[in-house]
Structure 1
Amino acid sequence: MYKTHTLKQKIKLFLLLLYPILITQLGMYSMNFFDTIMTGQVSKEDLAGVAIGSSLWVPIFTGINGIMLAIAPIVAQLTGAKQNNHVSYVVRQGVYLSFILAVLLCIVGFFLVDPILSLMDLEEKVRRVAKYYLLALGTGIIPLFIYNLLHSFVDALGHTRVTMLITLITLPFNLAFNYVFIFGKFGFPAMGGIGAGIASSLTYWIAALIAILIIAKFRPFASFSILKGWEKPNWPTWKEQLKIGIPIGFAIFFETSIFAAVTLFMSTYDTTTIAAHQAAMNFASFIYMIPLSISMTLTIAVGFEVGAKRFKDAKVYSYLGIGLAVIMAAIGGLIIYTFDYKVASLYSNTPAVIEQTTYFLFYAIFFQLSDAFGAPIQGALRGYKDVNITFFMALVSYWVIGLPSGYLFANYTELGPYGYWMGLIIGLAAGAVALMYRLNQKRTENEPIQQSL
C-alpha cells in the first residue's frame, strides 16, 4: 500500500490490489467448485453427501477462521501508522492462536459428527459420504488455519499477487487429487465424495508449506523474521486479536450458517432436490467470490488510510468498492439468467436434477445482488475495526428475518423448497440496508468525502 492523491490513482491501486485477491478467492473456491462438479458425476447420492457435509463444514470453518482475518486490519493499520516493528510479534501470536483454534475444532468436530448427522433424515449412503467427507477435511484443518493467517498477513502488506501465486500453484494439485481419489486412479480405490475431502486436505497442507517457504525466504516478508524469535504465547495480544476477530467470525458465521441451515432443512426433501440445491448454491457461491474479494480489498485499503488518519481517502475507497461490486453483480446476474441450463448441466447428467437446479439459479440472481452491497460494506467497516455492530446486524438480518421468512414461504406457500431461497433474498437485503446505514454513520463521524480529480 502507498498514499494516493487523486481518484484515478485510487482506482488504479484498488484494482492492483483486487485482481490478485479475486483470482486467489476464485482459485480457492474452485476446490469446492470442482469437488461438487466431480462428485456429481459419480452419483446424486455422492453430490448430496458432499452438500450436507459442506453445509456443516463451511459455517464452522469460516466463522472460526474469521478470527484469523483480524490480522488484516491490525497489520494494515500498523503499516499505515509506520509501526512495522510490531507486525512480526502480532503475526507470531496469531499463528499460536490459529493452531489452538484448529486443534479445538478437530476435537469437537470428531465427537459431534455422528450425533449431528443422526438427527437428519438422510439415506444411508448420503450420511456415510457426509461423515467421512468431513473427517477427511478435518485432517487438513491445522495447516488451513495457519495458511489463512499467513495469507491475511501477506495481503495486508499489499502483496496480494503472492497469495494469488500460491493459489495458482495449489489448484492443479487439488484437481489431480480429486481425479485420483474421487474416481479411483493409479491403484487407489474410487471413493466418490469422500475422496473430495481427502483431496482438499492434501491441498491445504501444500498451500501452508508454500506460504511458510515464501515468508521465510523472500522479500519483503523475510525482513519481518516471522518464523524466528518465537516469544511465549501472550494472552493480551490474543485478546486484542479476539476482540476484533470474534465479532468478524460471528458475523461471517451467521451469514454462512443461514445457507447451511437451509441445506439442512432441504434434507426433508428428496435426494434430487438436495442435489439441485447444492449445485445452484455452489455456483452462486462461486459468483460471490467477486464481492467477497472486493470486501477483502477494502479492508486493506480502508485500514491503511485509517491508520494514517486519512479518513476522506478511506471513504472514497469504500464507495469505490461498493460501486464496482454492484456493476459486477449485474453482470453475474445476466450470466446466470442466460446460461442457467448450461450451468446446471455442469453438475449432473440427471434431467430432474438439471431442471430443478435452473429454478434455484433464478433465485440466486437476486440474493447475489444483495451481496454486492453487503459484503463490500462489511470489508470497509473491518478496515475501521468497526466489527461489533456488523455482528449484531448479521444475527438479526439472517436469523431473525431471513431464515424464519424462508421457513414460512417453504411450508405455507406453494414455493416449497424455493421458499427458503426467497428467505435468503429477504435476509441478505435487510443486512445490506443495515450495513449501508452504519457506513453512512462513519461518513458523518469524520470530514465528508471530497474526491480529487
Structure 2
Amino acid sequence: MKLKNYTSEFKNNLKLATPIMMGSLGHLLVGLIDDIMVGRLGPVELAATSLGNSLVFIALSIGIGFSFAITPLIAESDGEGDEEKGRNIFQHGLILMTILGIAVFGMLLFIKPILYHLDQPEEVVALAIPYYEIVAMSMIPLMIFQGFKQFADGLSQTKYAMYATILTNVVNIILNFALIYGIWIFPRLELVGAAIGTLISRIVMVVFLYIVLMKKQKFVVYMKRLQFHEIKIKTFKKIISIGFPTALQMLFEVGLFTASVLLAGTLGALPQAANQIALKLASTTFMIAVGIGVAATIRVSNQKGLNNFIELRRIAFSNFLLILIIMFTFSIAFMLFRNVLPWMFTDNLEVIEIASSLLIIAGFFQLSDGLQAVILGGLRGLQDVNIPSGITFIAYWIIGFPVCYYLGRVAGLGTLGIWIGLLTALTSSAIMLFFRFNYLSKKLIKEKNGLT
C-alpha cells in the first residue's frame, strides 16, 4: 500500500487528536505548574510534590484508564447510529466514574501511611503529607470530569474538554501564585497552597464541562438522566469488562514510573528532584501520544461499528505512522536542549546535571513510548483489552522493573540506570503490542471475507 494512503489520514487524525492533546496537556500542566512554582521554594519541596504525587498518580491512572472504556463503546454506538444505546452507556459510565472517584479518594487516605515506609528522606515526607491529602480529594471531581470527557470524545466532540482544561489551568495558575507565595490578602501556604489550587481548579473544570454539554443540542438526548428502571447490571458489566483491564494497563505503566520515583528517592532528595523534572518533561510529550491514541480508539471504533475492517486497519496504521513522526521530533529536541530544559524547574546545579543526563534516555524512548500508547488506543477501539493487559504487565514488571532495579541500585548507575530500565520496558511493550494489533486486524479481515 502506498505511503499516501496513510499520510492522507493525518488531517483527520489530528482534527480529533489536537483537542485531546491540549486537554491531556492541560491535566498535566496542573501538576507541572505546581512543580515549577514549588521548585522555586527548593529541591526538598520539589521532591515532596514528587513523593505526594507518586501514589496519587497511580490512583489517577486507574481512574483515567477505567474511563477509557466509555469512549470506544460510545464511538461504536455512534458508528451504528444508535443514540439510545449511547445514552445508556454514557449514563451508566458516569455513575461508575462517580463511585470510582469516591472510592479512589478513600483508598488514597487509607494507604497514606505507606509514605512513611518508602525509605524516603524524612523532611520530604513531612512536607508531602498535607499536599497529598488535599490532592487526593481532587480525585472526586476529576473522575466525574473523565466520565463527561470520554463520552464527548466518543462522539468525536473533543473540543469541549479542551476548553475546560484551559480554564482549569488559568484558575490553577492564579490560585497557585496567590496561595503558594502569599500574594495580596492570601496567606503563604507553599505546598498546601499548590494542593488547594489543584482541588479548586478541578471542581471548576467539571462544573464548566457539565454546563457546556447541557446547553448543546447534540447532547440533549444523551444528557437525559436514567430512570431507576433503566439501570442495567448488564451495561455496568460491559463497561467494567473493558474498563478494568484498561485500568490495569495504565496501572502497570504508571506503577513502573512511580517505582522509578521511589527508587530515585532512596538515592537522596536531589536525585529524586532530578528524576521528577525528567519525568514531567517526558510526560508532557506523552500527552501528545495520548491524544493520537484516543483518536485511534475513536476512529477504529467507528469502523468496527461499520464492520469495515480494511479501513479500520489502514486508519490505525496512519495513526501509528503519525505518532512516530511526532515523537521523533521530540526525541531530537530532548537531546538538543537537555542542558536548558531543567532550568525551568530549578537553579540547583547538581539537580540540573542529573536531569540533563536523564533527558538523553528520555529522548531515546520517545518513539517506543508514543507508539505503544497509540497501539493500545487502536486495540481499545477493537475492544481487545485483556491480552494487551498481560503484555503490558510482562513489559513493565517482568522485563522493565528488574532492569531498573539492577542498573539503578545493584550496578550503581543511579537514576541513569533506572531510566535505561524504563527505556527497555517501553520498547518491549511497543514491539509486543504491535504484533498483537497486526495479528488481530488481519484476522478480522480474513473472518469477514470468509477465509477462516
Taking structure 2 as the reference length, the TM-score comes to: 0.94
Output the amino acid matched with 2:93: G
CA distance, structure 2, for counterparts of residue 56 and residue 432 of structure 1: 25
What residue is the counterpart of 1:67 in the other structure? 66
Q: Distance in 2 between matches of 1:409 and 1:270?
A: 17
Q: What is the root-mean-square deviation of aligned Cα atoms in Å?
A: 1.6
* Bigger mean CA offset, 247-256 vs 349-358: 349-358
Q: Equivalent residue for 1:451?
A: none
- Residue 93 of structure 1 is matched in structure 2 by 92
- Any idea what the Cα deviations from partners look like across 1:37-63, whole Å, max 9, x if unmatched? 111011111100011111111122111
Unpaired runs of 5+ in structure 2?
447-452
Q: Distance in 1 between matches of 2:125 and 2:64?
A: 26
SS of the counterpart of 1:162?
helix
2:20 maps to 1:21: yes
Matched, 1:42 2:41: yes
Determine if the alignment matches structure 1 residue 105 to structure 2 residue 104. yes
One of 381, 389, 392 as aligned partner of 1:391: 389
What's the offset of the Cα at 1:124? 3.2
- Among candidates 421, 426, 429, match of residue 428 of structure 1: 426
Deviation string for 1:314-367 (max 9, x for gaps)?
A: 111111111111111111011111111220100101111111110111111112
Percent of residue pairs identical: 28
Equivalents in 1 of 2:13, 2:84: separation in Å?
Answer: 26
Match in the other structure for 2:449: none
SS in 1 for 2:189: coil
Q: Give structure 1 stretches of 5+ with no counterpart.
A: 1-5, 449-453
1:359 to 346, 357, 367: 357
Q: Using the alignment, how far apart are the partners of 2:305 and 2:322 within structure 1?
A: 24
CA offsets per residue over residues 169-228 of structure 1, 9 Å max, x none?
A: 222111111111211223332222232221111111011001111121112112323446
Cα pair 1:92 1:230 within 8 Å, conserved? no
Partner in structure 1 of residue 377 of structure 2: 379
- Residue equivalent to 1:206: 204
Task: State the alpha-carbon separation in 2 of the partners of residues 234 and 416 from structure 1.
Answer: 52
> Could you say which residue in structure 1 is the equivalent of 2:276?
278
Q: Which residue of 2 aligns with 1:123?
A: 121
- Structure-2 separation of matches of 1:232 and 1:178: 43
Contact 1:47 1:193 in 2 (8 A): no
Provide Cα deviations, 1:52-103, integer angstroms capped at 9, x if missing partner. 1111111221113311110000000111111111211221111111111111
| SS in structure 2 of the partner of residue 220 of structure 1 | helix
Structure 2: how far apart are the matches of 1:425 and 1:198?
A: 35
2:77 is matched with 78
**Does the 8 A contact of 2:70 with 2:147 survive in 1?**
yes
What's the CA shift string for 1:239-293, capped at 9, x where partnerless? Answer: 1100000000000110111000111111211111111110111111111111111
Deviation at 1:104, TM superposition (A): 1.5
Provide the residue aligned with 1:326 in structure 2. 324
1:106-161 per-residue CA deviation (whole Å, 9 max, x = no partner) reads 22221220x20110233333112221121111222211111001000001101112
Q: Which residue of 1 aligns with 2:54?
A: 55
Asked whether the equivalents of residues 255 and 398 of structure 1 are also in contact (C-alpha less than 8 Å), the reply is yes
Higher mean Cα deviation, 256-265 or 192-201? 192-201
Structure 2 vs 1, CA of residues 235 and 260 (structure 1 numbering), >3 Å: closer, same or farther? same
In the other structure, the counterpart of 2:303 is 305
Q: Is the CA contact (8 Å cut-off) linking 1:78 and 1:307 kept in structure 2? A: yes
- How many equivalent pairs are there? 442
Q: Shift of residue 9 of structure 1?
A: 6.3
CA 1:424 to 1:201, structure 2 compared with 1: closer, same or farther past 3 Å? same
- 1:342 corresponds to: 340
Indicate the larger mover: 432-441 or 186-195: 186-195
Q: Which amino acid aligns with 2:192?
A: I
- Larger mean CA deviation between 173-182 and 396-405 belongs to 173-182
Q: Aligned partners of 1:88 and 1:231: how far apart in 2? A: 14
- Distance in 2 (CA, whole Å) between partners of 1:274 and 1:103 is 30
TM-score w.r.t. the length of structure 1 is 0.94
Take 2:154 and 2:228, find their aligned partners in 1: how far apart are those partners? 21
CA contact (8 A) 1:214 1:221 kept: no
Between the aligned partners of 1:177 and 1:226, the Cα distance in structure 2 is: 35
Q: AA paired with 2:20?
A: I
Q: Which amino acid in 1 is paired with 2:50?
A: A
Aligned to 1:132: 130
Q: CA deviation at 1:10?
A: 3.4
Partner of 1:3: none
Matched residues in 2 for 1:145 and 1:281: separation? 23
DSSP 3-state at the match of 2:384: coil
Amino acid at match of 2:64: N
How far apart, in 1, do the equivalents of 2:288 and 2:418 lie? 23
Structure 2 letter corresponding to 1:107:
G
Counterpart of 1:370 in 2: which secondary structure? helix
1:128/1:188 CA distance change after superposition, 3 Å: farther
